[in-house]
């Protein structure tokens, strides 16, 4: 998947970041605001990934990303 939204030299809040990812994934029309429900889902996925990554690092495994 090609990244369409550059974060270089542009600070972004999490809502802008998740909105860009949702647009790139095709689950949100370009320019449409991200819903509170989709934002909550994206934040939950981010938390789950960080927890998984922390556990894997404790085991000595490298992150796949």
Task: Classify residue 1: in a domain, yes or no.
Answer: no
The mean pLDDT value of the chain amounts to 82
Query: Where in the sequence is the domain holding 49, given as residue range(s)?
Result: 14-19+33-65
Q: What is the model's pLDDT at position 60?
A: 80
Q: Global pTM?
A: 0.62
61 belongs to a structural domain: yes
Tell whether 7 is covered by a domain: no
Determine, yes or no, domain membership for 58.
Answer: yes
CA 54, distance to chain mean position in Å, is: 17
Q: How many domains does the chain have?
A: 1
Q: Are 22 and 7 in contact (CB under 8 A)?
A: no
- pLDDT tens digits, 31-60: 999 999 999 999 999 999 999 999 988 888
């Amino acid at each position: 998947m090609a990244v369409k939204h550059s974060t270089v030299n542009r600070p972004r809040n999490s809502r802008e970041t998740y909105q860009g990812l949702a647009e790139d994934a095709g689950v949100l029309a370009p320019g449409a605001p991200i819903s509170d429900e989709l934002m909550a889902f994206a934040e939950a996925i981010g938390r789950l990934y960080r927890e998984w990554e922390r556990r894997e690092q404790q085991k000595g495994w490298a992150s796949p990303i």
